[in-house]
Structure 1
Amino acid sequence: MYRKILLPIDITEPAMTDRAIAVAQELAKAFNSEMRLVNVQSLLPVAFLDYVPENFDLQMRHALEKEIAEIAGKIDRPPERVSTTLLFGPVYQKVLAEAEEWGADLIVLCSHRPGMDRFLIGSNATTIVNHAQCSVLVVRGVAA
C-alpha cells in the first residue's frame, strides 16, 4: 500500500523524532516500504554572514548530515531501504517539494498538540496536511 514513506524529522526534538520514527518504521515493515528521513534547516540570514567562519555553512551541513545518518542508522530496516536528505529553507515548502519529487505515498510527521502559539503563527504540520499530494499521518508528540 505504501511504497515510499517520507519522514520529516526535527533533530532538536529527539522524543518527537523517536516517536515518529517508531510509527513510520512499523508501517515500513508492514508494507516493505522505503523510508526517507528529511531534515529542513532555516537559512542563515545574510546579515549574519560577517559573523560566522568562512566555511560555516559547510561545517554545519556536514555535522547535520552526520547526525541525521546516525538517526537513520538506528532504524530497524535494511540500509538500502532508508535514505536521508538535508534541505534548507521553509520547512513545509521543502517537505512538500521533497515528497512530490521523491514520489512519497505517505508522509509521517510528529506534531505538538495545537496551542495558542500555533494558532497565532501557524504550523508546518497543518500546512503539510492541507497541501500534500499524498496521505499524511500526524503522530502526536509526547506529553510535556
Structure 2
Amino acid sequence: MNKPVLCALELSDQASDEKVLSQAARLAELDGAQLDVVNVLPDFGESWVSGFFEEHHHQKAVKDTTQRLRDLCTKVLGKDGNAKVRHLVATGKAYQEILKVAETAGSGLIVIGAHKPDLKDYLLGPNAARVIRHSDCSVFVVR
C-alpha cells in the first residue's frame, strides 16, 4: 500500500469537482492508495466578520460540507467507492490547510483543480499555484 492521495475540492463548480475527483480516484486506484478528499472552509473566527455569525455556524458549515463531500463522492465513485474515502473538512486559508492535511496524512500526491488564470491570480497567486510551490509531495493539477 502506498501513501495516500489527497484530493482538494472547492465545491463551487460541480463539473470541475467531478473531474478532479475522478482523476484523483483513478490515480489512487492505480497505486492501491487511500483516497482522502478535503475541502477548506474560510476562517471567520479571527476577524471582525465573526461577529455576524452565530456560534454554531462553523459546526453547521463543517457538517454540511462533510455531507456535500460524501454526496459528491457517492455520485462520482459509487456507494462502495465512497465508503473507502476519508472525508476531511479544514478551516483556514485553502492552500495552507491543504498542505497541513497532506503532511498530517502522509500524502504522497495532492490532486487539485485549476482554472485559467486571470489578472488577480497573477498578482495574488491562486491556491493551486501556492500548493505546488510549497508542497513536499507531488502535485497533480487537473484543468
Pick the TM interval, shorter chain.
0.7 to 0.9
User: Secondary structure, in 3 states, of the residue corresponding to 1:114?
Assistant: coil
TM-score by length of 2: 0.87
Task: Give unpaired runs (5+ residues) of structure 2.
Answer: none
CA displacement 1:91-112 (0-9 Å, x = unmatched): 1111111111101000011101
CA RMSD across the alignment? 1.9
Whole-Å separation in 2 of the counterparts to 1:110 and 1:43: 21
Distance in 2, matches of 1:35 and 1:10, equals 16
Unmatched runs of 5 consecutive residues or more in structure 1: none
CA distance in 1, matches of 2:50, 2:127: 27
Given candidates 127, 136, 139, the residue that maps to 1:133 is 136
SS in structure 1 opposite 2:23?
helix
Say if 1:2 and 1:31, in contact at 8 Å, map to a contact too.
Answer: yes
**Equivalent-residue separation in structure 2 for 1:67 and 1:100 (angstroms):** 24
Taking the aligned partners of 1:17 and 1:2, their CA distance within structure 2 comes to 24
TM-score (norm 1): 0.86
The answer as to 2:31 corresponding to 1:66 is: no
Q: 1:19 is matched with which residue?
A: 19
Identity of aligned residues (%): 25
Aligned to 2:56: 55
Aligned counterparts of 1:123 and 1:36: Cα–Cα separation in 2: 22
